[in-house]
């Protein structure tokens, strides 16, 4: 009998007969591991337990506790959901069903229109499949076999996917019971592992995301190793619904999006207060960091966008118009305008680094299906900065920019993680320039001791970037700030400076945003704070609440002193009970309520109530005003 040798994670070795699987290896290690094993990492790649192992393979046996297990579990759950849908709705055609962050989905082409009340039925059928503990069996097919098999089953979407695979690609299918799907795997050993699952919602989705293709029905779900984890996640979903920025935007009168302008938000007075405060904070911080503010036109001609590369690399996301029979574009980015500002006069090395900043309104064509409140819009303001520098200033300027972004997020109470996004497929420029830019970004992150991960292929078309992903109070991640190093665009625009040697040199540019887009950042803040903004951001900071009509005169005096001190204050002098006034102020999430009764009027004080802390006792108004102004000036969270 021929024996194969396998190297385990700890460096030890095991010998088993040729043809042994990872499941056999797990059983040879220990009965407990054989029971808990769900997956294997073989020579660095994840594989099913049932696949034969090659001789000399490095093998790691994984259990449900492994970080990779959750994605595999969710991928298997997508197959189980598709099987349940096919059982309940014969004739359903399959599109794709991947694992995604927090869950999975599957897209179906079917004659019936799914409704929310269908989800419990599908979920119940999934539970039956789970109870059946059906093994997921992998089969390798030739290209012709795969096309013929799925064509005979009428699965045109699968056939299209197979036909686009490289000629030498290994094609596999997975079967559990009567259900067979085109899939690269890997999967759980059997369906019985999916104990804690839940279907969540329905949506429409175009095949391949292209509106020219058929509209499919998408079912979203999630699954976790343990019921307690599922319950915790479902509670987070409910909390997220309460915090939905679209719901709170209506209730707190912050913004609206009308059918006359889908994707184009209207700011209401309360929303403008928040926006203005964000802009003021942005201007303060950039001025202190040595930036000069500029403003560039919204519409610029075709030649500019051809020169910048947007015409070739970004055209499908742009809006166009004609002026005097010549093509113009509404800007999707502020960068080319900043290049022209740099170019407007002769620059010397003594002028560098030149730090320019712009709150620039940009427009991007988004498909109607992806528009989402203020999170995904067609018109938004980017808080762009462009720093032009010499080669030996790169590390210093990148370091300063990272510090500035860190200060922004600390001010709003966000933690974050960092990704280094590298060269995409549609990039422009030489290999040498990209390697130099990526190395520079990596070096400054390592020198500053900033932990980061690599996000391959997600850089901008003109340069790699550092992306900041902030984490909100519900543990959700949002990509906001970015720092992009660019050797390409200054050269394309013919930018130069006179060096110490008297010769012309091309500057390096750093493109960066801190908020990302003010609209999206506002939406994140609304949900993060649940509409209860810190005092400095709150549209109304104080509401004065007289108890009876005879307290109105003193309440008016209190209101006027607060107003004159620069606080955003309202006076609620309606003939309503004080309990109703307090309740409505709470619902409006006003940070401070000043209750005025006979005792307060006689003593010349105010009774202070906080929206979260309740009654804070009586205070002398000048002292309270001084304290509130200090909290606002320091932008304290509470």
Active site (catalytic) residues: 335, 364, 382, 384, 386, 465, 511
Where do the DSSP E strands lie in 536-599? 542-546, 569-571, 592-596
Q: Are 401 and 511 in contact (CB under 8 A)?
A: no
570-577: long-range contacts at Cβ-Cβ below 8 A with a sequence spacing of 24 or more? 570/540, 570/542, 570/543, 570/544, 571/543, 571/544, 571/546, 572/543, 572/544, 572/545, 572/546, 573/546, 573/549, 575/549
Tokens of 65: 């506790």
End-to-end CA distance of the chain: 73
Beta strands in 390-438 (DSSP E): 415-421
CA distance 25 to 29: 6
Contact indicator for 605, 621 with CB cutoff of 8 Å: yes
How far is the C-alpha of 286 from the C-alpha of 317, rounded, in Å?
A: 29
CA distance 39 to 176: 17
Contacts of 238 (CB under 8 A, 6+ apart): none
Residues 6+ apart with CB under 8 A from 98: 75, 78, 104, 105
- At 427 the three-state DSSP class reads coil
- Contact yes or no for 177/125 (Cβ under 8 A): no
Q: Helix, strand, coil shares of the chain as percentages rounded to 5?
A: 40, 30, 35
Exposure string of 78-96, with b = 16+ CB inside 10 Å and e = fewer, is bbbbbbbbbbebeebbbbb
Query: Running DSSP on this structure, what letter comes out for residue 384?
Result: E
* Residue 261, token pair as written in the block: 């302008």
CA distance 401 to 406: 9
């Amino acid at each position: 009998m021929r024996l194969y040798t396998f190297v385990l994670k700890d460096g030890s070795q095991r010998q088993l007969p040729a043809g042994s699987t990872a499941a056999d290896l797990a059983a040879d290690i220990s009965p407990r591991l054989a029971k808990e094993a769900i997956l294997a990492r073989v020579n660095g790649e994840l594989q099913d337990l049932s696949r034969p192992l090659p001789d000399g393979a490095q093998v790691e046996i994984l259990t449900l506790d492994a970080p990779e297990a959750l994605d595999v579990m969710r991928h298997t759950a997508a197959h189980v959901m598709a099987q349940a849908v096919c059982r309940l709705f014969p004739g359903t055609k399959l599109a794709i069903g991947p694992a995604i962050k927090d869950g999975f989905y599957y897209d179906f082409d079917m004659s019936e229109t799914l409704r929310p009340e269908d989800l419990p039925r599908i979920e119940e059928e999934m539970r039956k499949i789970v109870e059946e503990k059906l093994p997921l069996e992998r089969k390798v097919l030739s290209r012709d076999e795969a096309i013929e098999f799925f064509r005979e089953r009428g699965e045109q979407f699968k056939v299209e996917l197979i036909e686009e695979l490289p000629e030498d690609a290994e094609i596999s299918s997975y079967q559990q019971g009567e259900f067979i799907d085109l899939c690269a795997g890997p999967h759980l050993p059997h369906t019985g592992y999916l104990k804690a699952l839940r279907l969540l919602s329905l949506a429409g989705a175009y095949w391949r995301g292209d509106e020219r293709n058929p509209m499919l029905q998408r079912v979203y779900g999630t699954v976790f190793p343990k019921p307690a984890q599922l319950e915790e996640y479902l509670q987070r979903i409910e909390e997220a619904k309460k915090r939905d920025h679209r719901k709170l935007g209506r209730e707190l009168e912050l913004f609206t999006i009308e059918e006359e302008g889908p994707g184009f938000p209207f700011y209401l007075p309360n929303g403008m207060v928040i926006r203005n405060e964000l802009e003021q904070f942005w201007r303060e911080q950039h001025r202190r960091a040595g930036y000069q503010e500029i403003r560039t036109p919204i519409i610029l001609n075709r030649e500019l966008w051809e020169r910048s590369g947007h015409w070739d690399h970004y055209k499908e996301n742009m809006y166009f118009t004609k002026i005097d029979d010549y093509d113009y574009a509404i800007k999707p980015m502020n960068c080319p305008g900043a290049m022209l500002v740099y170019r407007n006069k002769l620059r010397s090395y003594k002028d560098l680094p030149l730090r320019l900043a712009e709150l620039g309104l940009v427009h991007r064509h988004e498909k109607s299906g992806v528009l989402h409140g203020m999170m995904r819009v067609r018109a938004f303001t980017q808080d762009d900065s462009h720093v032009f520098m010499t080669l030996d200033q790169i590390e210093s300027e990148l370091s300063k920019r990272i510090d500035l972004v860190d200060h922004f997020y600390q001010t709003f109470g966000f933690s974050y993680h960092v990704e280094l996004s590298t060269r995409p497929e549609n990039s422009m420029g030489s290999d040498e320039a990209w390697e130099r830019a990526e190395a520079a970004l990596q070096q400054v992150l390592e020198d500053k001791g900033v932990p980061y991960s690599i996000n391959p292929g997600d850089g901008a078309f003109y340069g790699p970037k550092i992306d900041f992903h902030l984490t909100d109070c519900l543990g959700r991640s949002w990509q906001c700030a970015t720092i992009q190093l660019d050797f390409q665009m200054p050269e394309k625009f013919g930018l130069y400076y006179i060096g110490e040697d008297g010769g012309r040199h091309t500057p390096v540019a750093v493109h960066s945003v801190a908020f990302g887009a003010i609209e999206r950042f506002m939406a994140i803040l609304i949900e993060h704070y649940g509409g209860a903004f810190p005092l400095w951001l709150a549209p109304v900071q104080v509401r004065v609440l007289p108890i009876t009509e005879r307290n109105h005169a003193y309440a008016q005096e209190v209101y006027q002193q607060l107003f004159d001190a620069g606080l955003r204050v309202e006076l609620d002098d309606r003939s309503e009970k004080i309990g109703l006034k307090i309740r409505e102020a709470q619902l409006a999430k006003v940070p401070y309520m000043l209750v005025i009764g006979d005792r307060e009027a006689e003593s010349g004080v105010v009774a202070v109530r906080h929206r979260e802390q309740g009654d804070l006792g009586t205070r002398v108004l000048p002292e309270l005003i001084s304290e509130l102004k200090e909290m606002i000036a320091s932008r304290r969270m509470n």
